[in-house]
Each structure stands twice: as structure tokens, then as C-alpha cells.
Amino acid sequence: MSNRILLVDDDEKLRSLVKEYLTGYGYEVMALADGFSVMNTIDQVSPDLVILDIMLPGKDGFEVLREIRTAHTLPVIMLTAKGEDADRIVGLEMGADDYLPKPFNPRELLARMKAVIRRVPQQERVSETTRAESRGLKRRLSAILSADAKGYSRLMADDEMSTIRTLGACRDLMGAQVQRHGGRVVDSPGDNLLAEFGSVVTAVQCAMEIQRDLKAHNDPMPEDRRMEFRIGINLGDVVLEDQRIYGDGVNIAARIEALADAGGVCISGTVFDQVEDKLALNYEFMGEKNVKNIRRPVRVYRVVMGPV
């Protein structure tokens, strides 16, 4: 789950358009008009993805890409006004992760960004953990809450601006509950939210309050405009770097979230073992689930949602 984007393009109008569009989806966009300060900016802000134009003044995108690849593995999407196959091939051979010719639909750029970002953590997970350990980064046991909106793409297709406003309101509700329960929002790209808690009990309590608040927010809306979230919670080991968290503990929370109903909460077996006798809630065992990129099956429980 990533949300910091570095956009490098000399077209001021395009920079403004892309920045406004991606900001509406919860991304933080830093924009540069040329390639001379790209490496310094990457070192300072640690973006999750670079969108890089080929035709830059003074130093072209291929040269910038070459510099990036000497020091970083972060994903890069190349942009160009040229549609030549040779440009695409050269860019990909030099280490670009994707290529998008101009003019382009911002929705296509967003879709390509999400696809690239999804791929990179899966490919880099083991080596990233190894690099983290070699850099002496901290590990800790945390309760991780992962949430996403079900049917978000349909909502966006039906009414983009209304959906963005609704998402902002829902994100504010969730963030307020996370803070109220002593947690912190780690990341919130697009329709996703990732939060960390020191207590698994408060993480589950927070999830229940979030779903109650979201239901109250959704009830006055027409059914086809309601934004319902699924929530998954896991207790596991995480690697901490620059206030972000990585590792299987986070990945399991995201996989469990996908098993939840809209408006519901699912928890892992490690969470259930801690909260079973501490909270006045009922749980339904869903079995041991094989989830993507996790070697062993994960025990999953559904929290029975009571009356609001």
C-alpha cells in the first residue's frame, strides 16, 4: 500500500492535471519540471513510484532513469509524446516498469500505477526484509488494521467527483477513530487504509467503531452510492522504516481484509487468541485459508456484527 509519487515532466499543464487527479485519490504528488534534481528528491522524500517523461530539457528521461537504476529499485513509469516502439523498448530495457504514451487518460495512468505498485512488493518482499535487517531497521509486534472500499471502481465509473468526496469523508471518519483508539494511520492510498496499533484489543474495538460510523454515514445515501469498507486485522511481526511498516504481518492483514463482507470485520487466529475473552463480541470461524504469498494457511474468524 503506497501513496507518495514523484512526477517529472516539463509540461506545466500536464503536471497540474496529473497532480490534481492523483491527489483526489489520496496520493501525495511531488512534481519536478526537469531531471536535474530527481536523485536528490528521491533521497529526501523516498517516493513509492516515479512517473518520468522522456523528453526533458537538459537531461532526458533515459539519462535520469539510468541514474535511478544505479541506486534504487523503486518502480518507474515512463511517459513520452513519441509512440515509437524503439523508445518503449529502450526504456524497458533500461529498467522502466511500464510505459505510457501521451496523450493519455489519467484513469489509465492510475490503473498502471496500481498494477506496478502491486507487483513490486510481491517481487521484493524477501529481499526487502533482508535489506531491512542489514540496515539495522527495527522490528516489532503490532496489530495491523487494513481496510478498503468494496465496489470502489464501480462508484468511480458512475460518478467520479462524488466518489472522491465520499472517500474523503470516509477516510476522515476512519482516521479519527484510529487516533481516538491510540493507533496511527500508516498509509492511505486510493480507497485503502493501513493503521497500526500497540494493542490488538483496541484495534478490534476501533474496527467496530469504524464500521458503526460508516454505516451511519451511509444510511441516508441511495444504496448504489454507499461506500462500504471491508476490514481485516492481524497481529504479527513488522519491519519499521521511516514510519512505514512492511512484512508478512502487514500482508496477512490485507489478505484477511479481502475475505470480509462489505461493512464487516475479519480477524486472524493470532488476533482471536488475544481478544476472545476480552471483548463482548461473537466470532464465527471461517476455517484455515490459503492466502496469496503466505506459506502456511491462516486461521480466519468473522466478527459477528451486532445491531448499531
**What CATH code is carried by the domain that includes residue 299?**
3.30.70.1230
Which of 105, 131, 157 terminates a domain? The answer is 131
**Residue 179 sits in the same domain as residue 277:** yes
Instruction: Identify the CA nearest to 118 among candidates 245, 244, 298, 292.
Output: 292
Q: Rounded to an integer, what distance in angstroms lies between the CA atom of residue 26 and that of residue 13?
A: 20
Q: Tell me, yes or no, whether 300 and 179 share the same domain.
A: yes
Taking 90 as the threshold, does the pLDDT of residue 232 lie above it?
yes
pLDDT at 60: 86
Q: Are residues 166 and 81 in the same domain?
A: no
Same domain? For 164 and 284 the reply is: yes
* Mean predicted confidence (pLDDT) in 190-200: 89
Same-domain pairing of 199 and 62: no
Among positive and negative, which fits the CA dihedral 234, 283, 301, 145? negative
Decide: 55 and 217 in contact? Cβ < 8 Å.
no
Given a cut of 90, whether residue 210 has pLDDT beyond it is yes
144 and 264 in a single domain? The answer is yes
Residue type, 268: S
Number of domains in the chain: 2
For the chain, percent of residues with pLDDT exceeding 70: 88
Q: What is the pLDDT of residue 128?
A: 42
Averaged pLDDT for residues 186-196: 84
156 and 112 together in one domain: no
Kindly report, residue by residue over 32-57, the tens digit of the pLDDT: 999 999 988 888 888 889 999 988 88
The answer to whether 139 and 246 have CB atoms below 8 angstroms apart is no
Q: Is residue 294 scored above 90 in pLDDT?
A: no
User: Which CATH number fits the domain that encloses residue 85?
Assistant: 3.40.50.2300
On whether both 59 and 205 belong to a single domain, the answer is no
Expressed as residue numbers, the domain containing 251 is: 137-304
Residues 100 and 207 in one domain: no
Instruction: Please tell me whether residues 127 and 170 are part of one structural domain.
Output: no
Residues 212 and 268 in one domain: yes
- CB contact at 8 A, 28 and 3: yes
Q: Of 76, 99, 131, at which residue does a domain stop?
A: 131
**Residue 121: pLDDT band with limits 50, 70, 90:** low
Q: Are residues 68 and 196 in the same domain?
A: no
pLDDT averaged over every residue in the chain: 86
Residue where a domain terminates, one of 88, 104, 131: 131
